Structure 1
Amino acid sequence: MATTPGQVRPGQRGPGGAERIDGASMFAGAILMLSGPLSVLLGITGIAHDTLFSPPGYVYRFDLTAWGWLHLVLGVALVAAGAGILAGKSWGRAAGIVLAGISLITQFMFVPYYPVWSIIVMTLDLVIVWALSRFHPAADVRG
């Protein structure tokens, strides 16, 4: 099937050799660019004010400064993956799925410390994994 000028075929290469991205991938990249800074902010808060969160007796109890560094590094990696997806880099999709999965697990382990924040970011991470994993390079985008 022929494509019209506004239509994007997933897996096609655009100008400069970058992979053209579909709507779901663009959405996931944008959400990664939101989820990453949220994790960075959480990390900075944990590092600077490690008494802000009051942890209960919990199996996965770590020093809150350690949690802060974990979230900070993961947030930077999420932003990098989001930028890779939006730039059409081939590694961006796989990195986004893996990093969103890791973020989901760390947020699950962080639920007792800050439940509302963790559940919101876990939801964003699930949406990212869903949007990036539904890509099929041979599929036609029909408008």
Structure 2
Amino acid sequence: MAQRVTAWVGWIWFAGIVMFIAGILNFFYGLAAVLGPDKGYVAVNGKLLILNIDGWGWAHLIFGIIVAVVGLFVLTGQAWARITAIVLVALNVITQFLWLPVQPWWSLIVIILDFFVLWALIVHGEEAERV
């Protein structure tokens, strides 16, 4: 007996597309950090943040590729991709909380978007496997 697929599966497509776009953006942020001038510091709101720009860039390059690829597999309804996506998005929420003092508005926007993606993957994920 065929199981019916509802319009809620659109939330999974939303999650996969958001992950793909976020992965591509992270890739380009990382590429800009690796290829750009190596300052090693960022001044935000009168505070100085010192970091390894090359390490940050390579981490974003690699993480961006992984997130984009997993996002594409989420669109195909793969169960392993959905589970991996939940872990990756949860890690992203944690990192956004760490960046909250540096970029409060952007971090809040990303945290809210990540919660929508997590909700879609957890609540409606199994339905995407039936498509």
Match of 2:33 in 1: 46
The alignment partner of 2:30 has SS state of helix
Q: Within 1, Cα distance between the matches of 2:106 and 2:54?
A: 18
Q: CA deviation at 1:22?
A: 1.5
Q: 1:135 and 2:124 equivalent?
A: yes
Match of 1:32 in 2: 19
Q: For residues 115-143 of structure 1, what are the alpha-carbon distances to aligned partners after superposition, in whole Å with 9 as ceiling and x for unaligned? A: 554444333322211211112748xxxxx
Name the count of aligned residue pairs: 122
Comparing 45-54 with 111-120, greater Cα deviation is found at 111-120
Q: CA deviation at 1:86?
A: 0.7
In structure 1, stretches of 5+ residues that fail to align are 11-20, 139-143
TM-score (norm 2): 0.72
Richer in helix (by share): 2
Cα 1:63/1:41, change in 2 over 3 Å: same
Q: Aligned Cα RMSD in Å?
A: 3.1
Richer in strand (by share): 2
The alignment partner of 2:42 has SS state of coil
TM-score (norm 1): 0.67
For 1:92, which of 55, 60, 81 is the aligned residue? 81
Q: For residues 5-39 of structure 1, what are the alpha-carbon distances to aligned partners after superposition, in whole Å with 9 as ceiling and x for unaligned? A: xx5169xxxxxxxxxx8121111111111111111
In structure 2, stretches of 5+ residues that fail to align are none
Q: Within 2, Cα distance between the matches of 1:38 and 1:100?
A: 15
Counterparts of 1:72-83 in structure 2, within 5 Å, are 72-83=61-72
**Contact residue 41 and residue 48 of structure 2 kept, 8 A:** no
Identity of aligned residues (%): 32
Q: 1:70 and 2:59 equivalent?
A: yes
**Contact residue 77 and residue 99 of structure 1 kept, 8 A:** no
